Amino acid sequence: MAQLRLALAQTNPTVGALEGNADVVLRVAREAAEAGAHVVGFPEMGLTGYPVEDLALRRSFVDASRAMLIDVARRLDEDGLGDLLVVLGFLDGAPDALPVLGTPKGAPQNAAGLLHGGRLVARYAKHHLPNYGVFDEYRYFVPGTSLTVARVRGVDVAVAICEDIWQEGGPVAEAREAHAGLLLVINGSPYERNKDDARLDLVRRRAAGAGCALAYVNMVGGQDELVFDGDSVVVAADGEVLARAPQFEEHLLVVDLDLPVGRTTAADEDSDVAAPDRTATTIHRVVVSDQPLPAYEPVSADIAPRLDDEAEVYAALVTALRDYARKNGFVTAVLGLSGGIDSALTAVIACDALGAQNVHGVSMPSSYSSDHSRSDAHDLAERTGLVFTTVPIAPVVDAFLRSVELTGLSEENLQARVRGTTLMGLSNEHGHLVLATGNKSELAVGYSTIYGDSVGGFAPLKDVPKTMVWALSRWRNADAESRGETAPIPVASITKEPSAELLPGQLDTDSLPDYHLLDDILDDYVEMDRGSSELLASGFDPAVVEKILRLVDRAEYKRRQYPPGPKISLKAFGRDRRLPITNAWREPAPDDVAP
């Protein structure tokens, strides 16, 4: 057996910020070297950020990525870090490749570069390209066909990238055929609820399949509608967790491993092997350092505790908003404070993400706004310390109605649109990021006013059902109280009946079923893609099913114009769920469903 000290760099890159990401790599690589690491792994596309989407098709960006990788290798060596093996995700490609129908322009590849001694000593290209959910990698990349194995301190380290271990066979089986002592997997795996449990189960299975220890390093941070939770982990071949990083935090995880000495000699050349039921795959071997290290005292590795369900979701929302604002140059945010639960939770998330002094809450009462809504909004502002102002909208609404005659729903929606215009005006004047406060349940059934409460640059609750809004609010208050702090959300905002307050005495339940029932139906229809017959078979009331499905189907055009917001569920509106706006298909009515 041979000892190897491994570092996993759970970093937060910004898409396109090559120089800034490179600086992070150099800084964290130095930290790894100072911790005595022999190998440090960075996330998938850690140099370019991830996902790069159509940037992968630009020759200029591919060239810049390749050049920056070589420059990083040089700078590492100049900084005295040349003995450290750095495994770094980057965008590779062959920009001069002849165009081939069905192949992305320039044959780009999602690749890992192995840097040592000032050089790129080897590379590996991702084999399995996901093309489901939020992923479109067949659009962007050409798959790799070889396995890279580096001999480091006498240990053979195989490299794979993210989806390569989510599929059976492939690099995992090839790592076993290559007798690797460690499989290092670099990842850009987006967060969704309970995915940390699924990942750990997967990593344990793949370690057993590869017959060796497996190290899984994942990025952290927000990128548009995706949020990455880190949760890097190292497991032994038998599935024992040896080290695990915290969730939603940048972190350098360092662990000492006792691994088998490589079976081949330094003189061995590349070879072709065939895993069971697969064609031959080239195994590319490179020797970084052939001799095992003298015995040394291992360090104690961290195994960070897991967050509970509400804490995990809340951390995802805060991380997503913080990075969306920071990476797009916003310092401050503005939102409407109605006194209701959605705006209250959004405001608290914003305060945690940006600092209360950078959050501007605006109460915009109309002639229908209740006294308790105004007082609840003011109470929340005092509890959190955000910047609070009041802009009555009744005079503006009245002036508009004197010029344009509107009645009924049109008049109701005018109030929301005046509020949206007010927030956008403040955004233009002061440079605030406008936060939309709608939740997934409302967005699903179209209960948002287009160009009204749907305006904004980011929507933190876009993928959060109404019932979870309440759960997160109660959790956030309890969490504050457990630390001896003031609960940030007024109890009245949590307990009162939801209402848009666009008419006297109006309640959401006037036109919608109870939110627990609504969210149950929406979970089946939106996330699980179950049709009307399956919903009826589950025992839902036929009239309710027909109404809710009709509302969901008719609201697609509204959802398409809603701001981006963080994905936390199996299927979020946007990248996950893509339905045509012009769409005449409707689920069969209950009377048409066969018994």
Residues carrying an active site annotation: 44, 126, 162
Alpha carbon distance 311, 568 (integer Å) = 12
Residue type, 17: A
Kindly tell me the burial class for residue 503, based on how many C-beta atoms sit within 10 Å of its own C-beta (0-12, 13-18, 19 or more).
Answer: middle
Residue whose pair of structure tokens reads 């229809």 in the numeric block: 525
Q: What is the CA radius of gyration of the chain?
A: 27
Adjacent-strand bridge partners of 110: 91
**Using alpha carbons only, what angle is made at residue 290 by residues 288 and 291, rounded to the nearest 5 degrees?**
130
Count CB neighbours of 367 within 10 A: 12
Residue 400 burial by Cβ neighbours in a 10 Å radius (0-12, 13-18, 19+): middle
Contact (CB, 8 A) for 38 and 153: yes
How far is residue 420's CA from residue 321's CA, in Å, rounded to a whole number? Answer: 20
CA angle (344, 360, 444) in 5-degree steps: 45
Beta strands in 425-580 (DSSP E): 433-434
Cβ(439)–Cβ(464) under 8 Å?
yes
- Rounded-to-integer distance, Cα 223 and Cα 393, Å: 35
Phi-psi region of 505 (alpha: psi -120 to 50; beta: other; left: phi over 0): left
* Helix 341-354 / helix 309-327 crossing angle, nearest 10 deg: 60
Residue 51 preceded by cis peptide, ω within 30: yes
Q: Could you give the CA distance from residue 207 to residue 198 in angstroms, rounded to a whole number?
A: 14
How many other C-beta atoms can be found within 10 angstroms of the C-beta atom of residue 524?
17
- Contact criterion met (CB below 8 Å) for 164 and 148: no
Q: How many CB atoms lie within 10 A of CB 584?
A: 6
- What is the DSSP code (8-state) at residue 379? H
Burial group, residue 401, by CB count within 10 angstroms (0-12, 13-18, 19+): middle
Cα–Cα–Cα angle for 137, 102, 106, rounded to 5 degrees: 70
Helices marked H in 251-293? none
Backbone dihedral angles phi then psi of residue 235, each to the nearest 5 degrees: -125, 150
